[in-house]
Structure 1
Amino acid sequence: MRLSNACLLDNQIGDRAAEQVLAALKSAGVQPEKRPLLTHCQILGEDLISQMREQGVIGNIQPSFTVTDASYVRKRLEDDILPYSYCWKRMLNSGVVCAGGSDAPIETCNPFQGIYDAIYRHKPDRPQDVFLPEEQLSFDQALALYTTGGAFAAMEEHKLGKIAPGFCADFVVLRHDVTQDHSALVAPNIVESVWVNGNKTYQYDPEFAESKATQHDLSNSLLPGKNGPMRVCRCCGH
């Protein structure tokens, strides 16, 4: 790895795993310029967050976990551990660089849903039940997870992650002003157009969108992700 430009990514859920990974990275002499990533960061501690900052370890986080995990996390974690669970704001305020993801197909790969969940941290039908409200991110913080944060984690911050001279013209035009109404992030058919390197690759078509509208039933235990195993293998069809 030292001879390549690849970054090292480790998956971690519990604080003991995080401690072991951070110790291994330090022992191996992995430097911040290699952009090592700790994926999930679901349960940490003040000491582990400090170590991440000092070692330049990036938090590869999945904001939608806060919604789907909250009900059982509250029941299973002790009161002194809970504040360091899914603590995205605490990590950012401590100086840890974070990049937003989905862990698809565990959660939807829709980045707008991830931004929404980073801001609100509650199920759409339970706005009063916010999981650790002190960890709710501002719109700017949530957006950065999926733009500048992701670009930095990918070592592409010199050309991706922002609209600026010299950067790739990769951007989307939305049909709602989500800077003023954050709830519009999860509005149907929110994307008006998609541009990649200055070329339009998608344009919203209301007739097509209406014909393709679907309702997703998340009650079936055989659905992908946290709802259960897939009914049919996506690779071979069996």
Structure 2
Amino acid sequence: MNLAFIIFLSGCWASAILMLRSKNPVYSVFYLVLVFMNLSGLLCLLGLEYFLLLQLLVYVGLLAVMFLFVVMLLDISLTEILAHQRGAYPVAGILGISLILAVLLCFYGPVLSNNMHTPFFMDFGLADKAQKSVFLPDWNVLNTSMSSVVQLGILLYGVHVDLLLLASLLLLILMVGAVLLTLKRRAAAPVHDVFVQHSVDFQKVVYILKK
């Protein structure tokens, strides 16, 4: 299992780097699909079958196909791609550091919550919030008593329903944006009345030039 974890993790990092460094947007979408596939392998190793299917259906089957459709439909020059690519590296670095900090918080969160019983944290009421926060051990305890699908339903539709609505709103905005990108804007043209054009007597408007 450790070897498979290393293989999937290395493939995920390699695909992400190639996705950022690729100059062809179609190849970038293909590398993005590889990232999703490697993440699905990691979820399979963790025993989260439902999240694995969700990853394949939503990200690979929906978002990646939509990205490929938009990229192939829009005529993007190489200069614009290189200009946006230079500005993507700082954003990617910030997101990577944030992801690493989030993973460290998941692992060391229980340790921090146990160390919050100090006068400083008690004054601000942070100790009770730390005890009520959901970290990794709570997931493992619930996972032994019920299946991942039941646990996901309880957390997603009961505890974190606000985040579910926010994600639904973001997907709706993404769908509307994809539709707006495909619309072609017609140039402003004068309005012609077809009935008036057909009612005109051609003998009064057409002159025959005789030599």
The answer to which structure, 1 or 2, has the higher relative contact order (CA under 8 A, 6+ apart) is 2
TM range (shorter): under 0.3
TM-score (norm 1): 0.21
Calculate the TM-score normalised by the size of structure 2.
Answer: 0.23
Q: Higher strand proportion, which one? A: 1
